[in-house]
Amino acid sequence: MGGVGRDVAGGRSEKQSRLTYRWYLRMALGSISRQAYAKVNLTLEVIGRRDDGYHDVTTILQTVDLADTVVIRAADELAVECDVADLSGEGNLAWQAAAALAVRAGIVPRAHIRIEKRIPVASGLGGGSADAAATLVGLNRLWRLGLSGEELADVASGLGSDVPFLLDGGTALGVGRGDELAALPGLPESRMLLVVPGSSIEAKTPTMYRALRPEDFSDGARTQAVARELGHGALTSASCCNAFERAAREIFPGLANVWSKVAEVTEYPPRLSGAGPALYVMPSSESERIRVVESLQGTGAAAYLVRTISPWG
């Protein structure tokens, strides 16, 4: 006599058959792993406030080989898991990316997304945006949507100004909110030193924009000069700029001290990335990183020697 929940012939129950089907589906599709590369703003000029409440900026964006890993697999429902526990769940930008893509495709979002963090959180290096971009690309493949790069960029622009750039990475000029992109001549591979202080502030981006003074605004001319320089030899951080540098020194606890310590031991001056507090120096070297690490003892700041890359080029 067949047991409870089993076919009379002794086969699998309906529930077991469904589970087996799902297992085979997941095995057939496998998992998709994407590297989510950090970005640095080689320049960031704020031109003025827009009617929609945002600001017009002009910026040169560059990807570097510091990366999170985003692993996506088929699942019965949407879930985002991160090895930084506070970043798991619906608050993660990767979750919002998956939900927005599903709306665009007219489907129910079903996937398990795991994020292994290496990009420091809320540092001005675009970690959350990179994870969202990797999620869009990965889910476009997993869900077999066949969306073009332009269609993905349209979804990405609703998630944040850095997300469209991080779909492809490389070197690009960003205008408008920073999401209107034009490819630039690739920066020759160069070593770059990233310094990330341990301090953070609440509501960073709006706080930093509110802190801008009239003298912090500019017309974009320095960015255009750097863009021209890209095609003619090596770029150094001495040529770069960021509208938030004055405000960042004043607002982020301990940043002014870290900044001065770095500047004392590097050949080229440190610059701010994004709205901070991460700094970068380029070009750099392992010996310079060691000097910086020694000078920063006791500050809580971390130093990373990375390379500029064009990951999908």
CB contact at 8 A, 62 and 171? yes
Please determine, looking at this structure, whether the domain spanning 31-183 carries the CATH number 3.30.230.10. Answer: yes
Token pair 């001005």: residue:
124
Q: How far is CA 149 from CA 94, 134, 261, 311, in A?
A: 18, 13, 43, 15
* Chain segment 102-112, per-residue pLDDT in tens: 999 999 999 99
Q: Which amino acid, residue 149?
A: G
pLDDT of residue 48: 94
pLDDT of residue 10: 35
Kindly list the domain boundaries of the chain, sorted by start residue.
Answer: 31-183, 191-309
Exactly one of 52, 65, 68, 162 is catalytic; name it. 162
15 is catalytic: no
Exactly one of 39, 68, 168, 261 is catalytic; name it. 39
DSSP string, 132-196: HHHHHHHHHHHTT----HHHHHHHHHTT-TTHHHHTT-SEEEEETTTTEEEE-PPPPP-EEEEEE
pLDDT of residue 28: 44
**Alpha carbons 103 and 108: distance in angstroms, whole number:** 8
* Chain segment 33-90, per-residue pLDDT in tens: 999 999 999 999 999 998 888 899 999 999 999 999 999 999 999 999 999 999 999 9
Which residues have CB under 8 Å from 311's CB, separation 6+?
35, 37, 63, 65, 169, 170
Bridge partners, residue 307, by sequence: 191
How much is the pTM?
0.89
Q: Are the folds of 31-183 and 191-309 the same?
A: no
Q: How far is CA 192 from CA 61, 142, 293, 305, in A?
A: 14, 34, 14, 6
39 is catalytic: yes
Would you give the end-to-end CA distance of the chain in angstroms?
63
Fold of 191-309: Alpha-Beta Plaits (3.30.70)
Give the residue ranges of the chain where pLDDT is below 70: 1-29, 312-313
